[in-house]
Amino acid sequence: MVNGSRTAPPPAAPAAPARIQVADLRLSYGDKEVIHGISFDVRANEILGVIGPAQSGKSSMLRCLNRTIEFVAGARVAGTVHVDGEDVSRTRDVHALRRKIGMVAPLPVGLPLTIYDNVAFAPRCAGLRDRAELDALVEHCLRQAALWDEVKDRLGSLGTALSGGQQQRLTIARALSHRPEVLCLDEFSIAIDPVTTMRIEDVLKELRREITIILVTNLTQQARRLADRTMFMLNGRIVELDRTDVVFSEQPGSRQTWDYVNGNFG
């Protein structure tokens, strides 16, 4: 416990290259603007925590990164998002972009396929056919999502028949299956028990060596445990983005941050 999960991990070096650059991002649903021009960078191999109350635009912001926002009728995006220097709105292959950015949604959607096929779905779409390779990948991803032991004997049963928490871990395994370079987790632990959550958090700390993680969470303590930097969003604006130890310190950059983090908001 001494140097365990309590202390914030060391901040990434300031020179770390930006993986994602968001510039003046605006998002409206119909006439209603919900994100009012936000700009931030996500650095390579960091965990960026995103906290903020409901309706502050966290999930919508994530959906702008891999352009799944396009599925929402009436959504309009302005401003630019660059992933590894490439403007996502001009990308030639949006499918490759979506494989590069893994996304775990707060309400898990198990595809109506077997557990195995759920995890093998994205690799197969990307063209992986080799059975042995798929087998290994499926097992690896399910282990990372702390689900393997529970489902290893019934990989052939329907993914939609799993419990809520298991389905959520299934979507985590699925998001890891296409070997993303950026992993976006939106409230991944809503339906997962604390012990399993801790196991997944350990995996995330491991993963940081290989990939970049954006962690949207309502559990401020989760951001405090995991994130290198933390972004506080409120009403479609960024109130503060700084090192996690600063955001959670007694003197963050904004009074609102302090209020939110300490639970006496509003």
Where along the sequence are the contacts to other proteins (CB under 8 A)? 66, 68, 71, 95-99, 103, 105, 107, 109, 111-114, 121-122, 124-126, 158, 171, 174-175, 177-178
Q: What's the CA gap between 103 and 215, in Å, rounded?
A: 10
Question: Beta partners for 25?
Answer: 38
**Which CA distances in Å does 148 have to 154, 155, 157, 193, 262?**
10, 9, 14, 16, 37
Contact indicator for 47, 14 with CB cutoff of 8 Å: no
- For residue 127, the minimal CB distance to other proteins (Å) is 10
With respect to other proteins, which residue has the nearer C-beta, 57 or 110? 110
With respect to other proteins, which residue has the nearer C-beta, 49 or 180? 180
Cα angle vertex 96, ends 98, 145, to 5°?
A: 50
With respect to other proteins, which residue has the nearer C-beta, 16 or 191? 191
On the CB side of 178, how many CA atoms lie within 13 Å of its CA?
24
- For residue 108, the minimal CB distance to other proteins (Å) is 9
Contact indicator for 213, 185 with CB cutoff of 8 Å: yes
- For residue 98, the minimal CB distance to other proteins (Å) is 4
Q: What's the CA gap between 174 and 178, in Å, rounded?
A: 7
With respect to other proteins, which residue has the nearer C-beta, 8 or 20? 20
Q: What's the CA gap between 49 and 133, in Å, rounded?
A: 33
- For residue 176, the minimal CB distance to other proteins (Å) is 11
- For residue 226, the minimal CB distance to other proteins (Å) is 23
- For residue 87, the minimal CB distance to other proteins (Å) is 18
CB-based burial label for 243 (10 Å; 0-12, 13-18, 19+):
middle
With respect to other proteins, which residue has the nearer C-beta, 49 or 110? 110
With respect to other proteins, which residue has the nearer C-beta, 174 or 225? 174
